[in-house]
Amino acid sequence: MNKNSNNSGFTRKGYSKLAAQIAKGAVKKKILTINHSGARAADEILDGIMENHKKTSDFNGFDGGRSENTSYLELTAKRCIERNRAKWRNFLIELVSRFDHDAISCFGVNFVYGGLLTASVSNIGWASVIEIGANREGAAKIALETVMKGKARGNMVWIIKGRELLSPEMRKIYLFNPECAFILNFCPSDDGDLSQMIESADLSKLKNILILIPESCKRSLSCMQNHRGLYAVTRDCPGSRALTGFSKGEGDRIRNGEGSVRSELPRGVWSFLESPSLPIYADGMEDLFDDIEKFISGGKSRRMPRYIL
């Protein structure tokens, strides 16, 4: 038997893929339940999270290799739900009513399984960045080759920066890699051009993308809402640097009910856990991405792979 396999006979990579497929089905079922029963179903899901927040590690085959910070994040999330249950109930209901259900389950599971959980047990970053220069000929072909090579190393979450990120050639990348999660950051962004690209793209087929929309791009935001596509709103917010650093001694005190949890979580993550709401504001995205990486890796200075095309 492969030394990386578990008792079920699957290798860790194969088992993770199977677990992700099962998780997507389970998430979709929960979404449909919330859509049908509203607050009662949302409360049942929150109850399940409170009771079984540690079982995901046993389910996905990653137990024993997860970082101390990953377990700590689960505990922190549980405490935040306890303190802010009404906000989390409303968030779940609004999430289901606002966004495409398949996109929520597909992107969400890809993001968690392919990014956060994989990074917590391996030496790879939780996401990779591709920057496409203006007027770069053949960029889509090179980007596809980059994604395929990255997938072979275990990189499943991609942050792509550029102009023509919804061109037919780029859409093929997202369609041909349904197990990946893609975060699209249009740089620079013009509301008129961006809204036209959104309208011309068939978002109903793109379940594994999330688009970052500048707050000033009102027409583009309206287009995303009309198509029920996943998006986050970006703002130029000075001083939004997410908190960094992880002190093991402080972590022990937190787990024992002492100390301040704010000193450990990136600010963006902490703010969301304490007050979940839509739209999600992605302030200081670069800093937040870097600090999530440091947090889930236990403070290691592990940079996300970056490819400039």
Q: How confident is the model over 206-219, as pLDDT tens digits?
A: 999 999 998 889 99
Q: How confident is the model over 278-307, as pLDDT tens digits?
A: 888 876 566 666 666 666 665 555 566 777
Where is pLDDT greater, at 303 or 4?
303
Residue 188 lies in a domain: yes
Residue 6 lies in a domain: no
pLDDT-derived band at 277 (thresholds 50, 70, 90) equals confident
Task: Look up residue 160 and give its two tokens.
Answer: 């792509």
Where is pLDDT greater, at 48 or 188?
48
- Provide the domain count of the chain: 1
Q: How confident is the model over 27-64, as pLDDT tens digits?
A: 999 999 999 999 999 998 888 877 764 444 443 444 44
Q: In whole angstroms, what is the distance from residue 156 CA to residue 118 CA? A: 9
Q: In whole angstroms, what is the distance from residue 86 CA to residue 89 CA? A: 5
Q: Within a 10 A sphere around the Cβ of 273, how many other Cβ atoms?
A: 21
Q: Can you give the pLDDT at residue 260?
A: 42
Residue 4 lies in a domain: no
Residue 211 lies in a domain: yes
Residue 56 lies in a domain: yes
Q: How far is CA 245 from the centre of its chain?
A: 21
User: Nearest-CA neighbor of 296 among 115, 108, 79?
Assistant: 115
pLDDT-derived band at 248 (thresholds 50, 70, 90) equals very low
Residue 37 lies in a domain: yes
Instruction: Classify strands 209-214 and 181-186 as parallel, antiparallel or unpaired.
Output: parallel
Q: How confident is the model over 95-110, as pLDDT tens digits?
A: 999 999 999 999 999 9
Location of structure tokens 């053949």: 138
Residue 19 lies in a domain: yes
Residue 251's domain spans which residues? 12-308
pLDDT-derived band at 22 (thresholds 50, 70, 90) equals confident
> Stretch 238-261: mean pLDDT, rounded?
39
Asked if the model's pLDDT at residue 93 lies above 90, the reply is: yes
Residue 31 lies in a domain: yes
Task: Look up residue 134 and give its two tokens.
Answer: 């203006």
